[in-house]
Homo-oligomer: A and B are copies of this chain.
Amino acid sequence: MTETTTVRPLRADAVTGWDFEADVVIAGYGVAGAAAAIEAARAGAEVLVLERTGGWGGAAAMSGGFIYLGGGTPLQKALGFEDTPENMEKFLLAALGPGADRAKIHDYCQGSVEHYHWLVAQGVPFKEEFWGEPGWEPPADQGLMYSGGENSAPLNTIATPAPRGHLPQMQNKVTGEKGGGYMLMKPLTDTAESLGVRAEYDIRIQRLIVDDTDRVVGVAAKRYGKPVHIRARRGVVLATGSFAYNQQMVETYAPRLINRPVASIEEHDGIGIRVAQALGAQLAHMDAAEVAFFADPQMVARGILVNGLGQRYIPEDTYGGRIGQATLNDQDNKAYLIIDEQALEAANATTSTVHFFRQQPPASVGETVAEVEDEIGLPAGTLVSTVELYNRHAAEGVDPLLGKKPEWVKPIGTPLAAFDLCNHTGGFTLGGLKTDLDSRVLHVSGEPIPGLYAAGRCTSGICAGGYASGASLGDGSFYGRRAGVAAARQD
């Protein structure tokens, strides 16, 4: 209780002294905070970033580094892919779930090429090389990849497929020292520093400070357990990340993620959301979650995935995040990969960066489908029936059930194996504060809360129920910039 009761706003007249002061105060030095810092500084503000950990980076620096960009970026063009903002928008509206913020998606697609140029201008490197195989990440330092199921059924029939997963060129891929996320965050924070942005570390925000008109004028925080008060002359930007590691919030809002938060850092405790809620902030899509599927995409595409009833449910060659969401949300988190010896060998012969997904032994190996079905405990006859139907069509190279691309459709022969991929999911939350296109935090009344801005995963961005890799670093950096500009201008 003590921990949480502190989220109530503090009145400025109760503050006896300010420990730090700046025009724009930013909480969190991940991608949204860094982008906000750069743009606030460029707009003429004195900027202070408060970071809870001992260094910059946040979840972004630990991530693969995908940034979802399109509409005809120079990288897309150089690699021969056609795309338009309209085509990208069509895709995102279909992929990101009903109820997604249409205005934000439109805005994001219209601004995507400009945002690419901005990232390059800050020093983010993109290598002109495309990686076209199924996978979570490219095997080396390739710069472009499909990262949302754009070229798979059913989305490939809704919008013209174009890869939009833009990856900062990593260094030392093998040792992993400078991955895509690092190569995004390093230039951004270098740029911020060159613009005079200050950062104070080991500061955990506790509550917002408001004046007698309810305008946000600062942040109350703790440093090594002691209270510190930071005055923001123009505005506060919240960029504190998701609530994936706040167990109570996950139970209350996104219970499917109970006990399976991943792909973010433990600092993601929802504090930015809670301090704003205490001011009457509106929320959005609190149940939404990115869901990774822990399985080698090369294997998955070459086999068939069946649920606990032995039925196929998703084209196996689509984006792993779509498989993860479908498995966790709609299939009771039950999945088995059925793959024959030949396909397994072909998968193992491919280059992949995610070898650890292959270490699990099969749950069953058999000479017949019936044998495997029985051994993994599927209802009698279900898997046999599923494989029979799949093989009948696969013999003609088609998949009328789910539209897997012909290149991945081959009859399942013998011997074959089943891998138990039940509960092989985990993810991070996508819901959060409702913000407008200027990243102003909206009150439940619909009006902006004066002096308060937010971006990144403490906000509900472009995603509602769906996801594409790169959407978080994408909308975090895009609306982080907006937050910095708006806060500096006191919009």
Binding site for B on A (CB under 8 A): 1, 4-8, 97-100, 250-256, 258, 274, 277-280, 282-287, 309, 311-313, 329-331, 379-382, 385-386, 388-389, 392-393, 400-402, 434, 443-447, 464-465
Residues of chain B contacted by A255 (CB below 8 angstroms): 97-100, 285, 464-465
A23 to chain B, nearest CB (A): 27
B380–A443 touching, CB < 8 Å:
no
Chain B residues with CB under 8 Å of A443's CB are: 8, 278
B contact residues around A282 at 8 Å (CB): 252, 277
Say yes or no: B7 contacts A445, CB within 8 Å.
yes
Which residue of the partner chain, among B99, B274, B393, contacts A444 with CB atoms under 8 Å?
Answer: B274
Contact of A284 among B253, B274, B381 (CB under 8 A): B253
The complex places the Cα of A153 from the Cα of B175 at a distance, in Å, of: 50
Task: List B contacts of A1 (CB < 8 A).
Answer: 446-447
**How many copies of the polypeptide does the oligomer hold?**
2
The interface residues of chain A, by DSSP majority, are classed as loop
Cα(A331)–Cα(B252), bound, Å: 24
**A284 near B252 (CB under 8 angstroms)?**
yes
Contact present for A4 and B445 (CB under 8 Å): yes
In the complex, chain B residues whose CB is within 8 Å of the CB of A99: 250-252, 254-255, 258
- The 8 A-B pairs of least Cβ separation, nearest first, read A99-B255, A287-B287, A330-B330, A98-B255, A277-B444, A379-B400, A278-B280, A5-B445
Q: Which residues of B contact A379 (CB under 8 A)?
A: 400-401
23 pairs from A and B in contact (CB 8 Å cutoff): A1-B447, A4-B446, A6-B445, A7-B444, A8-B443, A98-B255, A98-B256, A99-B250, A99-B251, A253-B286, A255-B465, A277-B280, A278-B444, A278-B445, A279-B280, A283-B283, A285-B287, A309-B312, A309-B313, A311-B311, A380-B393, A382-B389, A385-B385
Cβ of A98 and Cβ of B258 under 8 Å apart?
yes
Instruction: Identify the closest chain B residue to A275 (Cβ).
Output: B444
Known: A255-B465, A280-B280, A286-B253. A389 touches B393 (CB 8 A): no
A313 to B332 CA separation, bound complex (whole angstroms): 12
Asked whether A446 and B5 contact (CB < 8 A) given A256-B98, A284-B252, the answer is yes
Q: How far is the CA of A443 from the CA of B282 in the complex (A)?
A: 14
Q: List residues of chain B with CB within 8 A of the CB of A256.
A: 98
Question: In the bound complex, what is the Cα–Cα distance between A274 and B280 (angstroms)?
Answer: 9
| Interchain CB contact (< 8 A) of A380 among B5, B253, B279, B400 | B400
For A402, the closest partner residue in chain B by CB is B309
**How far, in whole Å, are A256 and B464 apart by their CA atoms in the complex?**
11
Report if A445-B382 is in contact (Cβ < 8 Å); known contacts: A252-B434, A258-B99, A402-B309: no
Contact B385 A389, beta carbon cutoff 8 Å: yes
Among A7, A286, A329, find the residue whose CB has the most chain B CB atoms closer than 10 A: A286
A392 contacts B401, CB within 8 Å? no
Q: How far is the CA of A281 from the CA of B392 in the complex (A)?
A: 57
Contact B286 A283 (CB under 8 A): yes
A403 and chain B: residue at smallest CB distance: B379
- A379 CA / B402 CA spacing, docked (Å): 9
> What is the CA–CA distance of A366 and B393 in the complex, to the nearest angstrom?
24
CA distance A385 to B389 in the complex (A): 7
Q: Are A5 and B447 in contact (CB under 8 A)?
A: yes
Which of chain B's residues has its CB closest to A447's CB?
Answer: B5
